[in-house]
A = this chain, B = another copy of it.
């Protein structure tokens, strides 16, 4: 328990990763209050999470923007306070030294080699820093939806396929594979495939590792998961739920690709029916609006029937900063997953559904119930 915990961020040079690294340093140094960090609230005080001061950051990235450069951009965008990059320069430099080149789905040679390289990076990070454990968290851009292949369902076939194929797994799954091989828990904060393939699930079980995901719940879906149960508890009939999300920044541009949007939109819609118990009419749009930068605006319009069928409506507009909403969840997930690993938990961590749009190991989408489950689970950890 006295040792340190590694947090390995896939997409370590992106806005989210840098906000998490710089923010953890700022909270640790007492420069800012721990707003947004569930792990710092009284409810989880007795859960035995590794303290923020014991986290060591590293990661993979296919880009090479220096962390300090990214941090400056985040200041200009109003995400980081102006004085922060200088105040946490040492922490950024330490993380910078622990970033290694990432991988694309198809780098032109068999993927087995890529997995080996990524795995070696993780093992070296753990050894070099004398870490008790390393949690790998995917915070990179959303991938297009992955077409299924037979090898995805069978571990032996997958291993064999990786020896000769250059594009069998999407990048997110390569990272999950490498994490499990290196004995590291894996968290997918994006809607990408990650560990969600039968062959990778089997690998996690074999290595006795926990994993969590998918798709951090930071905005529209968060509000949905608070409001939909209200309609259900009051026996009000939701007739339609329509949404429009305006996003700037890197994630917006990625999602402007309709193939990537499809995976994110599907995750958003899935939970609504599960919370209400019936399918609901309505579409969800994701638009890229470059001018919005790191900010996103979501408008949702809900029509519902009350007593005697009278039609009524609810609208909401959410205006949030994506990186600032997501970064504390990444830190919470790193600490909770590390704690689960220490407790010997294996397989999907359904109790972390609180953090995700599309939780693995859980069909609970109601935020209040998820919160109750999280607190009860954390209190009961051995």
Residues of A within 8 A of B (CB): 19, 23, 26, 32-38, 40-41, 78-82, 84, 222-223, 225-227, 229-230, 233-237, 239-240, 242, 244, 246, 281-283, 285, 287, 289-292, 297, 299, 301, 303, 305-321, 324-325, 327-328, 354, 366-369, 371
**Assembled-state Cα–Cα distance A242/B248 (Å):** 13
Q: Which of B81, B84, B239 contacts A291 (CB 8 A)?
A: B239
Sample of 20 further A-B pairs with CB below 8 A, known A230-B368, A297-B313, A306-B320: A26-B308, A32-B308, A34-B235, A35-B306, A35-B307, A38-B234, A38-B235, A81-B308, A82-B82, A223-B314, A226-B227, A226-B230, A230-B367, A281-B290, A292-B303, A299-B301, A312-B325, A314-B316, A317-B317, A368-B368
A265 to chain B, nearest CB (A): 13
Q: Taking chain A's interface residues, is the majority helix, strand, or loop, or is none over half, making it mixed? A: mixed
Given the contacts A233-B371, A301-B299, A367-B233, A306 and B325 also touching, CB distance less than 8 Å = yes
Q: Which residues of B contact A314 (CB under 8 A)?
A: 223, 316-319
A242 touches B369 (CB 8 A): no
B283 touches A287 (CB 8 A): yes
Q: Which of B36, B291, B309 contacts A234 (CB 8 A)?
A: B36
- Closest B residue to A26 by beta carbon equals B308
Q: How many identical chains are in the complex?
A: 4
- Closest B residue to A76 by beta carbon equals B82
B40 touches A235 (CB 8 A): yes
Given the contacts A308-B324, A319-B314, A282 and B287 also touching, CB distance less than 8 Å = yes
**Assembled-state Cα–Cα distance A82/B316 (Å):** 31
- Closest B residue to A239 by beta carbon equals B291
A81 touches B244 (CB 8 A): no
Q: Which residues of B contact A312 (CB under 8 A)?
A: 318-321, 324-325
A291 touches B303 (CB 8 A): yes
Q: Which residues of B contact A242 (CB under 8 A)?
A: 244, 246, 287, 289
